A and B are shown apart, each in its own frame.
Chain A
């Protein structure tokens, strides 16, 4: 449904003719969805004006920041926030940065490194928006998900501007909660189906100390960057263990002893993806390191604030690994490989190689929460991958899963995916079935309920009927139903 000329003109009056488009030849450049129009506001006032117009005409809208997860109902007005790309403030003394939606993580991190600071970059990669919630490689140190936001500026689905926490009361960004109950309860963005209604226009995010250099000494050429030298008081290693239990024992102890800057439970297949530059090389390296590892494992970065701190952390790491009969992967001890992994896993440029390169597509079950519990479930989900591998329907990764500790092991994430050729319908179907079965098992055996791809009416009843409350909230906030709920991710 195209907008009428009059309505189009009203939006055009807000953003100027350069910043609105309803050309059916151009709009598909965004996503496969048929949009009513794409609009590019420059600031909060423009977002507000657009949202008010959407209410006036009862038109559905949805914003994107960097737009990695586009799932939109047909005829949505897409607010592409790419012109809102300023780092508003980096407050070193109070450990936060204020950003607009299109500030990408790489950009913010480069600025932060100069100040000895870092933040939580989503595992999706450094090209993603810095502002939206997410989790990734650095979570051991930088926390994750909705736990990194401080104050947020939010345009409600009706077009009111709400400035959460200290921002609304005293014009400061350091706190997003209060007075009274916290509106952060519902404002966090996320992948569909559960997206925050309305538009986030700025957010303060927590910062963390970065013990490394102000600039990583990157050398080489894409896609094979490494480091000229390993920065002082830093070390990266990959350890494998004789069993999942032993691996978990080591991971738990590393969390409790607060020594790891990063703990990423890559499997051997993901290590291979990350240190190679093409599928052929990856296959060969995977085969080689599969022989070298003794079982499941994880990648660790140790970073000391001083030589003493580093020496202490290294000593504890070695003790924990040895107590759990862990073995260091020799390839990663090679400074060039160590540099590649350090570089990719601190700047967060690893994801695409792991997920898309080998098969062309992937289908995944990610679970945030209690790491030991989800590992227990993932062992079964990994076993269930093996028949698909045998049939040649998915990329051979040995039936592996992966994950990591969050907040020094207080929380965690486990994820398991299958990589397949999207042009092979049999493979696609088999993977979808695998996913469905494993998610059903997760609910039946009381591990967790999938929220990524299930409709909320499917997952809600097993989760305290949260969907009913969520719907009531959205209805209250959005009486004109202009902020669509979205659907499952695929």
Chain B
């Protein structure tokens, strides 16, 4: 058991808690992973604290579980897998270190949420390439490190975007900076000569940030990260296109992204769109859902500094050539939900309560990557399974996000359920595990393995796991960093 005093010496007594109620908060989340109570929760103030914590953890072989975002958590990655762990809650590290308009970059500490960074970025004329409606407590760094899909695929050149550089304390206790941030000199010295921490690759031929991303805190603790930002448009024209056929909308999205005509671009089914925009529950929700087409594609054409109206009108004309060919129509509203309303909403984190919890209080997400051609089959397979498990298909939210400039898409099924209803909870839990298995068998790629299904997912790729384990041995030889996660 890690000594309370030693932790207090590092972070200060006020930043250590071993109270049962606090520990209970970190011992479970909204996912179905086992409840495991940590031994302590510490809130480091800076990188120096973190470094000492990691050193101490190595000395006394105590697991550390880094957490950036506030609750509720959903994926089980911040719940300890084994007893005696210390939660390293980074929510106190809240500095927005830099926002640089000409270089289009922002640097933040792990506790900074989207809601906190957005206004600062906007003041500089910048915006973030966001995930879809993150919860209010979601930390920007958490999202970057999880490789969450972003809603402007046009600006996602590489799947690691928008993450740029980061500073990490590896499991060994060593500090390392990735990409341009690595050096020469300190970050401050780099600023002094006009450098920012933007280029993600290197040093050397490696792209070290890719090892930290997707690791769920198993390689080290990130103390700050930089992200590329985009310019705030001076004019935005959002549109919606409804259809009963998701493949038609995918085809349209494909062309819009390939020709780089749109910024925000994603597809939602009627359940999700209603869950996001219903104001009065449950009447409003049912009415909106009934009025919506089965699928809605949302996109925005935008103009920047020069002749924005001309740019947007050229795009609108070119897009209408495509929609005509596909037999669909771009509109300003669908089933009572306006495109403007969607645009406004998705440029911010979700209003409270979090949109995924509004309908029933609980939500289990099943998400994977796939190619356009396979999506139809995978959606059908999920529908069949839902029926088999007695989960109403009409209650299932679907979110389709084209990724990396059109090289594939993220598909997410949102299973809303009432956590107070044991029957419903059990059904969703069983459905979720079976779904991962069944979808994987049909070719879905679970690139971000969480919780109960992680082992099953990783077992399919023994060769990758073997290499990852070699890396783990280097960066965290004592396995103190969030043990039990991914394949470690």
Asked whether B194 lies within 8 Å of A316 as measured between CB atoms, the reply is no
Asked whether A206 lies within 8 Å of B404 as measured between CB atoms, the reply is yes
* Whole-angstrom distance between the Cβ of B234 and the nearest chain A Cβ: 11
Which parts of A317-354 form the interface with B (CB within 8 Å)?
319-320
A145 at interface by CB-CB < 8 Å: yes
Bitwise, B84-108 to A at CB < 8 A (1) or not (0) is 0000000000000000001110000
Contact of A369 among B180, B207, B315 (CB under 8 A): B180
B185 at interface by CB-CB < 8 Å: yes
Asked whether B314 lies within 8 Å of A306 as measured between CB atoms, the reply is yes
Bitwise, A76-95 to B at CB < 8 A (1) or not (0) is 00000000000000010111
Residues of chain A lying within 8 A (CB to CB) of residue B206: 185-186, 188, 194, 466, 470, 473
Known A-B contacts A147-B158, A306-B318; the reply to A185 vs B180 at CB < 8 A is: no
Known A-B contacts A181-B486, A451-B204; the reply to A376 vs B183 at CB < 8 A is: no
Asked whether B193 lies within 8 Å of A446 as measured between CB atoms, the reply is yes
B67 at interface by CB-CB < 8 Å: no
Residues of chain B lying within 8 A (CB to CB) of residue A94: 371-373, 406-408
Complex Cα–Cα for A185 and B147 (A):
14
A162 at interface by CB-CB < 8 Å: yes
Bitwise, A172-206 to B at CB < 8 A (1) or not (0) is 10111111111111101110001110000000001
Segment touching B, from A223-231, A250-258, A292-300: A250-258
* Whole-angstrom distance between the Cβ of A173 and the nearest chain B Cβ: 9
Residues of chain A lying within 8 A (CB to CB) of residue B373: 93-94
* Whole-angstrom distance between the Cβ of B36 and the nearest chain A Cβ: 21
Number of B residues with CB within 8 Å of any CB on chain A: 97
Asked whether A462 lies within 8 Å of B183 as measured between CB atoms, the reply is yes
Complex Cα–Cα for A289 and B258 (A):
38
A477 at interface by CB-CB < 8 Å: yes
A166 at interface by CB-CB < 8 Å: yes
A interface residue count range (under 10 / 10 to 19 / 20 to 34 / 35 or more): 35 or more
Asked whether A446 lies within 8 Å of B190 as measured between CB atoms, the reply is yes
B389 at interface by CB-CB < 8 Å: no
Asked whether A170 lies within 8 Å of B445 as measured between CB atoms, the reply is yes
Complex Cα–Cα for A168 and B210 (A):
17
Known A-B contacts A95-B258, A179-B449, A459-B203; the reply to A372 vs B194 at CB < 8 A is: yes
Asked whether B210 lies within 8 Å of A181 as measured between CB atoms, the reply is yes
Asked whether A177 lies within 8 Å of B467 as measured between CB atoms, the reply is no
B446 at interface by CB-CB < 8 Å: yes
Asked whether B199 lies within 8 Å of A370 as measured between CB atoms, the reply is yes
A150 at interface by CB-CB < 8 Å: yes
Which parts of B235-277 form the interface with A (CB within 8 Å)?
254, 258-261
B461 at interface by CB-CB < 8 Å: yes
Complex Cα–Cα for A376 and B311 (A):
33
Complex Cα–Cα for A91 and B318 (A):
24
Asked whether B314 lies within 8 Å of A470 as measured between CB atoms, the reply is no
A410 at interface by CB-CB < 8 Å: yes
Asked whether A163 lies within 8 Å of B474 as measured between CB atoms, the reply is no
Asked whether B447 lies within 8 Å of A168 as measured between CB atoms, the reply is no
A283 at interface by CB-CB < 8 Å: no
Known A-B contacts A174-B407, A209-B260; the reply to A169 vs B460 at CB < 8 A is: yes
Residues of chain A lying within 8 A (CB to CB) of residue B306: 253, 257, 315-316, 319-320
Residues of chain B lying within 8 A (CB to CB) of residue A448: 184
Complex Cα–Cα for A453 and B91 (A):
43
Asked whether A188 lies within 8 Å of B260 as measured between CB atoms, the reply is no
Asked whether B463 lies within 8 Å of A168 as measured between CB atoms, the reply is yes
For A407, the closest partner residue in chain B by CB is B157
Asked whether A464 lies within 8 Å of B460 as measured between CB atoms, the reply is no
Residues of chain B lying within 8 A (CB to CB) of residue A188: 205-207
Residues of chain B lying within 8 A (CB to CB) of residue A462: 183-185
Contact of B486 among A180, A206, A460 (CB under 8 A): A180
Contact of A179 among B208, B407, B457, B474 (CB under 8 A): B457
Residues of chain B lying within 8 A (CB to CB) of residue A168: 460-461, 463-464
A96 at interface by CB-CB < 8 Å: yes
Which parts of B436-470 form the interface with A (CB within 8 Å)?
440, 443-449, 454, 457-458, 460-461, 463-464, 466-468, 470
A183-B464, A370-B180 given; name 20 further pairs at CB < 8 Å: A91-B371, A95-B405, A143-B158, A168-B461, A169-B461, A170-B445, A172-B445, A178-B449, A181-B215, A206-B407, A258-B304, A312-B311, A315-B306, A319-B307, A370-B196, A376-B193, A411-B198, A447-B195, A448-B184, A477-B470
The 10 nearest A-B residue pairs measured at CB? A178-B447, A369-B199, A185-B210, A308-B314, A194-B205, A463-B203, A446-B185, A168-B461, A190-B205, A462-B184
- 30 A-B pairs in the complex with CB atoms less than 8 angstroms apart: A143-B158, A160-B466, A175-B159, A178-B449, A179-B214, A179-B446, A179-B458, A180-B214, A183-B210, A186-B207, A188-B205, A188-B206, A189-B205, A206-B404, A209-B258, A209-B259, A256-B304, A256-B305, A258-B260, A258-B304, A306-B314, A306-B317, A312-B314, A372-B102, A442-B184, A446-B190, A447-B195, A456-B204, A476-B470, A476-B473
Listed in ascending order, the chain B residues whose CB lies under 8 Å from chain A are 102-104, 147, 157-160, 175-178, 180, 182-185, 189-190, 192-196, 198-199, 201-216, 219, 228, 231, 254, 258-261, 304-307, 310-311, 313-315, 317-318, 369-374, 404-408, 440, 443-449, 454, 457-458, 460-461, 463-464, 466-468, 470-471, 473-475, 486-487
